[in-house]
Structure 1
Amino acid sequence: MPAPAKMTRAEISEVTFDQNGKAQDVDKGVKIKVQFNPETLRLRYSNQSSGGNQPGRSAIQHVTPGTTNLSLDLWFDVTGELPEDESSDINDVRKITSKLTYFMKQKSEGSGEEQSWIPPGLRFLWGTFIFEGVMDSLDETLEYFSEEGRPLRAKVSISLSKQEIDPKFGEAARAEQGDLATPGTQKKEAAKQGDSMQSIAGKMGKPDRWKELAALNKIENPRQITIGTLLDRL
Structure 2
Amino acid sequence: MASGKLSKAVLIPLDAQNRDAAEESWISVQFNPASLKVTLANTLKDSKSGGGQSKAAQFVDKSESTLAIELVFDTSVLEAENLGETDGGQTLLHKDVRRQTQRIATEFMKPQDAESKQPKAPKRCRFQWGSFSFIGMLSSYNETLDFFSPEGVPLRATLALTFKQDNYQFDIIDLKDALSRQGRLAVDGEGVSAADANLAANRDPKQWRDTALYNGMENPRHSDQQGVVMPPSSAESGSGSGGGFSYGQSYKLGTRIPGAF
Q: Same fold (TM over 0.5)?
A: yes
- Residue 9 (structure 1) aligns with: 8
Residues 122-181 of structure 1 show CA distances to partners (whole Å, capped at 9, x for unaligned) of: 111111111111101011111011122111111110001122222122x53663675137
- Residue 29 (structure 2) aligns with: 34
- Residue 97 (structure 1) aligns with: 101
Q: Distance in 2 between matches of 1:63 and 1:149?
A: 51
Contact 1:17 1:24 in 2 (8 A): yes
Contact 2:126 2:136 in 1 (8 A): yes
Over 3 Å counting, the alpha-carbon distance change for 1:207 and 1:25 in structure 2 is closer
- Residue 48 (structure 1) aligns with: 43
- Structure 1, unmatched stretches of 5+, are none
Equivalent pairs, count: 206
| SS of alignment partner, residue 157 of structure 1 | strand
Q: Distance in 2 between matches of 1:154 and 1:201?
A: 35
What TM-score comes out, normalization by structure 1 length?
A: 0.69
How far residue 108 of structure 1 moved from its aligned partner, in angstroms, is: 5.1
Over 3 Å counting, the alpha-carbon distance change for 1:176 and 1:8 in structure 2 is closer
| SS of alignment partner, residue 117 of structure 1 | coil
| SS of alignment partner, residue 99 of structure 1 | helix
- Residue 217 (structure 1) aligns with: 211
Over 3 Å counting, the alpha-carbon distance change for 1:191 and 1:210 in structure 2 is farther
Q: Distance in 2 between matches of 1:81 and 1:31?
A: 21
Over 3 Å counting, the alpha-carbon distance change for 1:178 and 1:191 in structure 2 is closer
Q: Distance in 2 between matches of 1:41 and 1:26?
A: 23
How far residue 81 of structure 1 moved from its aligned partner, in angstroms, is: 3.8
Q: Distance in 2 between matches of 1:207 and 1:131?
A: 27
Over 3 Å counting, the alpha-carbon distance change for 1:92 and 1:207 in structure 2 is closer
Over 3 Å counting, the alpha-carbon distance change for 1:29 and 1:133 in structure 2 is farther
Contact 2:13 2:25 in 1 (8 A): yes
Paired-residue identity, %: 22
- Residue 148 (structure 2) aligns with: 145
- Structure 2, unmatched stretches of 5+, are 86-93, 214-218, 231-261
Residue 93 of structure 1 aligns with an amino acid whose one-letter code is V
- Residue 134 (structure 2) aligns with: 131
Residues 41-94 of structure 1 show CA distances to partners (whole Å, capped at 9, x for unaligned) of: 000001123346695567644223x11100010111110148xxxx66562111
What TM-score comes out, normalization by structure 2 length?
A: 0.63
Contact 1:12 1:31 in 2 (8 A): yes
- Residue 112 (structure 2) aligns with: 107
Q: Distance in 2 between matches of 1:213 and 1:227?
A: 16
Residue pairs, 1:63-212, within 5 angstroms:
63-64=61-62, 66-81=63-78, 89=85, 91-102=95-106, 103-107=108-112, 117-169=120-172, 171-172=173-174, 175=177, 178-180=180-182, 182=184, 188-191=188-191, 197-198=195-196, 206=200, 209=203, 211=205
Over 3 Å counting, the alpha-carbon distance change for 1:34 and 1:209 in structure 2 is closer
Over 3 Å counting, the alpha-carbon distance change for 1:233 and 1:27 in structure 2 is closer
Moved over 6 A (4+): none
| SS of alignment partner, residue 50 of structure 1 | strand
> Alpha carbon RMSD of aligned pairs, Å?
3.8
| SS of alignment partner, residue 95 of structure 1 | helix
Over 3 Å counting, the alpha-carbon distance change for 1:196 and 1:232 in structure 2 is closer
Q: Distance in 2 between matches of 1:164 and 1:133?
A: 10
Q: Distance in 1 between matches of 2:119 and 2:182?
A: 31
